[in-house]
Structure 1
């Protein structure tokens, strides 16, 4: 058996698979985000440990004595600051925190960051967060002995090792993405040293061995190898079998992602496309990222006092052309293609007849139009996508998938029931580390159905995207 743990923003998920990669058991523990100030987003690393204990406790009921490998996945870009005793110095600053926008802009103005990292220095990346801490919390910065990414704090708890994989490290702005190593120049420019960084391994390699204390507590074999793992999207790609050029997925999670695998490093920072290492050796990937996908739907559901699923089910099955109302999903800034921490969302074109149904359609369409911006940014880099695997909680809505397929003008492949996301990908990486297997085991999931673009509405959604871009550009001028 092989265990995958995925540390998400809203919860920690565990998946147990057998040697044939069949899912044997799943468990989930919720997490909350703290927003003490506008633009801030934080979590306590102690809550992650509590969630991991809860998940392992549930999975232990199925018996973990035959586990031979463990893989880790997690939300990217977070800054976990540790002192010399490995004690946490402050709450983790998360990926969707935008407080470091000034520090990010200052770093991005240094041409070395884009040239070496291959990416814009986004406010949500790790390096500007440390610059913010140095400026606003100098006593904490002075005590910072190690910086870890969220999943790697779980690794420290599990193995005692300070280690990170290449895919997660590539999202820090301290990393030479082409060379797959920390950049001494970028670390120095950010006031950091290599000694403060974790050691690096590939996602499918062994990063450490499970501590006996945890093994005894949860009925796991002592010394089980823990794989390097991957950032959540790279791990999701391993779970979905998106590991070769031409393969891609779209994820409707808290954030929205358009992901394309590649065999080479092809940075294009001017497009605001993310160019990162994949979780497998010798592979890279590109992503267009929006900060609010299901997060936008959940926001509307909270406003209306109704469950998100009820809002989408009420739309029925037949796709309709975009309504008069427009929604810009910039609830906490935006990445691709805007790179704007200050821009905020908006409803436009509201009228007396606008009700819950029309507002829901506008939100789903707005997220789809934002992902179409990502498609256009990826196309500008020369990336070609023939189809996309649909992942994430939002992919449970057939109506949303129809909107997305028609807006992107790409067929969406919907996997059969089951988890083929980050936790499953992490378990696959655990299997690779334990057995020495490679990318050949990262096969695509069985596909239940294909959702094709609606030819009768293709032009209407293309026109809706044009209206969306005009509204986006007007809103950007006000930010």
Structure 2
């Protein structure tokens, strides 16, 4: 038995996976976000730990015999979050998260201090990454910065609390701007540019390697027999790729989670910072990946549901499973700024085209299409960086909607496939990495592709209409950019 833990932004998910690779049970615990100042996004690191422990407690209570046979644990987590620890390993402040936009000025400072940043890290300096956050802390909270002994990412903090070891995997480390992504090691030069040194960083391992052993107290708490291996694990998107069997060069998927990601596996370090494409290590040795990132994907629909005080499912129901053309309303899904292709933390959401006769369903459709158009921006960026994509699997909470899947296919102009276990991909991927660490099996034998539940082909007459609508939508950001400031 293998256990996967995904430390997400809105919650922690645990999955119990049997020897055949099937998911036997899942458990979740919700997390709260804090936005004390505009552009800020923070969480209590100990809330991740409490939620992770609570989720496993739930599994152990419902499936004690199966949990007793757990041989490995894999960890997945939201990327980039700056968790600052003192000499005693305690958090100095709330963690600054991936969707926090406060450090835009520090991004400019970092690129000026280290002109070779793009070459080494393979990415632009963006407020979402970890390194600019530390520059912000150094400038605005110098007393806290002076006490920083270690900087961990969210899942590494959970690992530390469960094992006593401070370790990070390559895929998550690549999102800090402190990793030499091509060489898969910390860069002393990049660390120095943020006033840090190698001793501030955790030990590095590959995602499929053993990182530590579960502390005996937790093994006893959950009734686990023998030593339990904890794998290096992966950042959430790389873990989702493992869960989807996306391990060969060219494999790709589109995630409609809180954020949105278009992900492609590569067999080499292939940076493309000019188009704000991310180039990171994959969770397996000798593999990398490229990503385009939208900061508000399913979060855009959740926001609308909250504003309208109506569950998302009820908003979608009147639209059915397909529409025959674009909404007359255009929506920019930049509720938390945007990464690919704009790299603009100040970008804001917007509706354009509203009239007195505009109905609720037209607004709902516009939100779905706005996210799909942003995904098309990402597709264009990845195509320019490494060639076109022929098809994508669809994962994340948004993958539940057949309507959204069809809109994505029509907007992107390529087939989109809904897959089994698409909503637990990261936790499943974490469990698979745990198994690889414990058994040393070949990754191809463990990281199999999920069954496709439904395929959505682009419809030529609708795609033509969306091509025109996308051109109109693309003109909105440059027209409104100055107003966002």
TM-score range, shorter chain: over 0.9
Query: What does residue range 49-448 of structure 1 map to in structure 2 within 5 Å?
Result: 49-61=49-61, 62-63=63-64, 64-109=67-112, 110-416=114-420, 419-440=423-444, 441-448=446-453
SS in 1 for 2:409: helix
Post-superposition offset of 1:464: 1.0
1:97-122: per-residue Cα shift (whole Å, max 9, x none)? 00111101221343211111000011
1:344-379: per-residue Cα shift (whole Å, max 9, x none)? 111000011212101100000000001100000001
Gapped regions of structure 1 (runs ≥ 5): none
Post-superposition offset of 1:59: 0.7
Moved over 4 A (4+): 417-420
- For 1:189 and 1:398, the matched residues in 2 are separated by 47
Post-superposition offset of 1:417: 5.4
Query: Does the 8 A contact of 1:291 with 1:332 survive in 2?
Result: yes
TM-score (ref. length: structure 2): 0.97
Post-superposition offset of 1:320: 2.3
TM-score (ref. length: structure 1): 0.98
- For 1:184 and 1:18, the matched residues in 2 are separated by 41
Query: Does the 8 A contact of 2:295 with 2:339 survive in 1?
Result: yes
Find out whether 1:475 has 2:480 as its counterpart: yes
Post-superposition offset of 1:343: 1.2
1:462 to 458, 467, 472: 467
SS in 1 for 2:54: helix
Query: Does the 8 A contact of 1:176 with 1:182 survive in 2?
Result: yes
Query: Does the 8 A contact of 1:259 with 1:287 survive in 2?
Result: yes
Which sits farther off after the overlay, 314-323 or 21-30? 314-323
Post-superposition offset of 1:53: 1.6
Find out whether 1:10 has 2:10 as its counterpart: yes
Post-superposition offset of 1:382: 2.1
Query: Does the 8 A contact of 1:216 with 1:222 survive in 2?
Result: no
- For 2:111 and 2:18, the matched residues in 1 are separated by 45
Post-superposition offset of 1:476: 1.9
Number of residue pairs matched by the alignment: 479
Query: Does the 8 A contact of 2:126 with 2:343 survive in 1?
Result: yes
Query: Does the 8 A contact of 2:421 with 2:450 survive in 1?
Result: no
1:37-71: per-residue Cα shift (whole Å, max 9, x none)? 00000000111111012101111020211001110
Post-superposition offset of 1:222: 4.6
Query: Does the 8 A contact of 2:419 with 2:452 survive in 1?
Result: yes
1:376-405: per-residue Cα shift (whole Å, max 9, x none)? 000111233111011000011111111101
Query: Does the 8 A contact of 2:85 with 2:91 survive in 1?
Result: yes
- For 1:438 and 1:340, the matched residues in 2 are separated by 41
Change (3 A) 1:53 1:87: same
Query: Does the 8 A contact of 1:246 with 1:384 survive in 2?
Result: no
Query: Does the 8 A contact of 1:70 with 1:225 survive in 2?
Result: yes
Provide the aligned C-alpha RMSD in A.
1.0
- For 2:448 and 2:426, the matched residues in 1 are separated by 14
Post-superposition offset of 1:416: 3.0
